[in-house]
Amino acid sequence: MNYTFDFSPVLAAWPTLLEGVIGTLRMSSLSMVFGLSLGIVFMLMRLSNQKVLRIIAIGYIELIRNTPILVQVFFVFFGMPAIGIRLSGEQAAILAMTLNCAAYAAEIVRGGVQSIRPGQIEAGRALGMHTADIYRFIVFRPAIRAVYPALCSQFILMMLNSSLVSSVSAEELTYFAQTLDSQTFRSFEIYLTLGVIYLVLSQFFSAALSMIGRVYFSYPAK
């Protein structure tokens, strides 16, 4: 082996990599928020007593969970212009990740909602509260708390999966790393560094999410 390791081109490119980190953080965070929100809508449809809504939700969830995320990203970016929806790489990335995250979040949150004892809902009913208020004020928080660790893993998985959207030239970390690779051919050093950065990002997300959890779910458990 006569390869000489040289990290200097990677280190010299730190402003580009930082831009990538910011891109990854931005796209992942937005997709998490949108994905969770949309996921809650699908979850409510999934639990609705309207058969049509249930079928739509189940169909959607199955479709997303049984196709590769890369195909979903390609479909949004390359496929949708055919029906007049033309998105930038970043917009397509956020949309695809949101749609993907929603399906998983819907199923995770459904588990949480179904773990709530019926007595909680009955107590709300007996107080004269409407179904929407019961879900919003009584069911939601304990339900999310019950599945929060699973939800966090899903979010972190999505942040890692965001490296795939470099393939539609969304300007995130992997995209800049690939660009750097094509300029310097320091593949080993670049992708090793990239891996370390993703590792740090995961830890960061994990810590941030658990901090949010500690504040939002600070009430003592039964």
Partner 1 sequence: MSEIAKSEKAIDMIGVNKWYGSLQVLKGINLNVARGEHIVLCGPSGSGKSTLIRCINHLEEIQEGTIFVNGTQLSQSGANADHIRRDVGMVFQQFNLFPHLTVLENCMLAQRRVRKVSVAEAREKAMRHLERVHIAEQALKYPAQLSGGQQQRVAIARALCMDPKIMLFDEPTSALDPEMVKEVLDTMISLADDGITMICVTHEMGFARAVAHRVIFMDRGEIIESAEPAAFFGNPSHERTRAFLSQILDH
Interface residue list for partner 1 (CB under 8 A): 117, 119-120, 122-130, 133, 137-138, 141-142, 145, 217, 219-222
Q: Which is nearer to partner 1, 214 or 222 (CB)?
A: 222
| Least Å from the CB of residue 29 to partner 1 | 25
By beta-carbon proximity to partner 1, the closer residue of 83 and 221 is: 221
For residue 208, count other CB atoms closer than 10 A to its CB. Answer: 13
Half-sphere exposure of 186 (CA within 13 A, CB side): 19
Question: Based on CB atoms, which residue is closest to partner 1, 191 or 217?
Answer: 217
CA pair distance 50, 66, nearest whole angstrom: 24
Q: DSSP alpha helices (H): ranges in the chain?
A: 8-12, 14-47, 51-65, 69-74, 89-114, 118-126, 131-133, 140-161, 173-184, 187-216
Q: Please, what is the minimum distance in Å from the beta carbon of residue 112 to partner 1?
A: 13
- Which residues neighbour 68 within 8 Å (Cβ) at sequence distance 6 or greater? none
Number of residues that make up the chain: 222
CB of 47 to partner 1, least distance (A): 19
Closest distance of CB 147 from partner 1, Å:
14
Q: 116 or 160, CB closer to partner 1?
A: 116
